[in-house]
A and B are shown apart, each in its own frame.
Chain A
Amino acid sequence: MELKKQILRLLAEDGRMSARDMAERLDSDEKTIADMIEQLERDKVIFGYCAMFDETELPENAVKAIIEVKIRPERDGGFDKIARRLSRFPQVSSLYLMSGGFDLMVEVKGRNLNEVAMFVSSKLATIDGVLSTATHFLLKKYKEAGKLLQEEEPHERLQVTP
């Protein structure tokens, strides 16, 4: 449905956009939009809202690492069982099953290098079925969730042109 897609496009840009604002942009009315959003939430198409901010502001998120994990698939359940188990740890902020040279990509956040390293060695690596891990710490962020962290300087445009 076109309106549904348009609402999702706007929310992807600005999760706090009001139904009224959307209605004006999409030439619809507030109630239709609000109802549609509610439906999207009920259907779990929209499964949450969160702010994007400089995470180093929070001490518990000061360090971020991406960990490549190789695992032994299980007879029934394949990769899912281990993946689900790992995803329950609050330190894990994202987790994906990957094609290629490793199986799971785990994003972990912590207060400092040590905390993340401890989590990897004492929790992640010791889980039965985990064959190996390779931990990559993030040094600098340039772009996240489609947003450039350093916007280009706007340049002067002529004020009136044909």
Chain B
Amino acid sequence: MNDSKSLRKHIAPHIAELPKSGIRDFFELVNTMDDVISLGIGEPDFVTPWTIREAAIYSIEKGRTSYTSNLGTMSLRKAICDYVNREYHISYCPKNECIVCVGVSEAFDLAIRAITSPGDEIIYHEPCYVSYAAEIRMSHGVPVPVSTYEKNHFALDPEDLERAVTPKTKAIILNFPCNPTGATLTMEQTERIAEIARKHDLLVLADHIYSELTYGEKTPSIASLPGMKERTIFLHGFSKAFAMTGFRIGYACGPADVIDAMMKVHQYSMLCASITAQDAAEEALRNGENAMLAMKNEYANRRNVIVSRLNGMGLPCLKPEGSFYVFPNITSTGMSSKDFAVNLLNRKKVAVVPGSAFGTCGEGYVRCSYATSLEGIRTAMDRMEEFVKEVRGEK
């Protein structure tokens, strides 16, 4: 039994078959090297704003070190519902339509576990965040990816979506602004997707984690459209906008029945989110806006720099309207996205993530995160430009 081979047969097949995230492999490779400039980081480079950190310290000083209600502290839930109402014009009741979770990660997990029966199909758009398909599989659901394309600015084409709907379809996952493409949806696209969800009686899981980081006009949440609040699970958190990844705090708002079901899973598996993180999150909503806007402004500047540099070196790159990622097209180098990323790392010590890590249709692209200092971005771009020139010369 001590031998790892013999233990393997005890692993549940649907977990054993789960592929490891492509990001993980790449991480291992990057970790063996020194002095790498990484554009591979999916979290803010800013430290959490001081007012939020100070609130966490104060919370501990006051001796707030206990469990909270399973749903989260009432004052945080009120602050969340006020915020969602103010920013997204959707009104949720803090008593039974809102649950505080350990990051959007947990909120998403609860939502999938609460709604998925074995064999249920769940549609999501690719390239996408690496957890979606795996989460669906872990709940014995069937992940159904719908590709998005550069020619559509990586927005989900509602007609492609509708073609993927079958009688077994349970839900659609939407993540706009999108990790890894930075894509956003237009109002017409959102309305059309809502129409499809209503027509086929589908739930929508709306992952809004990058919504604050929208640089143009913000498209309303699908949950705010007529007839959609009752079928949307609104997932949001503090990690990106408030630079709070390490606090592990997020939330879900939705119809009382769904939140109640999610609460059951949460109650037995997690109990509650950390009270310190909850108090900090409340401060973020009450007094964190200025700090958040300052970070957003800095991201906007970096985005302009990175987009113009990438296009300048002949790697066509859209100017995304949200998140802190750009997704340049590297097919002109003749390399696969994995080869591009590995060679760039080995030769120039710049880490980017191969687009294929986010789904097969991410092939031909790499994800560059601009959640890195502008100085780092500029040096990385200089090195990448040299690399592209060398590669073109070798061909």
Contacts and interface: CB of A to CB of B under 8 A. Distances in A.
A and B: interacting chains: yes
Contacts, number: 51
Given A159-B41, A162-B23, A162-B42, A24 B353 contact: no
- Chain A interface residue bracket vs B: 10 to 19
Contact of A25 (B30, B130, B304): B304
Interface of A: 6, 9-10, 24-27, 152, 157-162
Given A9-B297, A157-B43, A159-B36, 14 more contacts: A24-B305, A25-B302, A25-B305, A27-B304, A27-B308, A158-B27, A159-B40, A159-B41, A159-B351, A160-B23, A160-B351, A161-B23, A161-B27, A161-B42
A2 B367 CA distance: 30
Interface in B295-313: 297, 301-302, 304-305, 308
A6 B296 CA distance: 13
A70 to B, nearest CB: 35
Interface of B: 21, 23, 26-27, 30-31, 36, 38, 40-43, 45, 47, 129-131, 179, 297, 301-302, 304-305, 308, 351, 353, 374
Contacts of B374: 25
Contacts of A160: 23, 26-27, 30, 38, 40-41, 351, 353
Nearest to B45: A157
A152 B304 CA distance: 28
B27 A159 contact: yes
B40 A26 contact: no
A160 B40 CA distance: 5
B40 A161 contact: yes
The 8 closest A-B pairs by CB, nearest first: A160-B40, A25-B301, A27-B304, A160-B27, A161-B42, A159-B38, A159-B30, A162-B130
A159 B25 CA distance: 12
Contacts of A27: 304, 308
15 contacts: A6-B297, A24-B308, A25-B302, A25-B374, A26-B304, A27-B308, A158-B27, A159-B36, A160-B23, A160-B27, A160-B353, A162-B21, A162-B42, A162-B129, A162-B131
A36 B27 CA distance: 45
Contacts of B36: 159
A152 B48 CA distance: 12
Contacts of B31: 159
A66 to B, nearest CB: 24
A27 B31 CA distance: 34
A3 B30 CA distance: 39
B41 A158 contact: yes
A139 to B, nearest CB: 23
B101 to A, nearest CB: 17
B309 to A, nearest CB: 8
Contact of A24 (B23, B130, B179, B304): B304
Nearest to A157: B41
Contacts of B41: 157-161
Contacts of A159: 27, 30-31, 36, 38, 40-41, 351
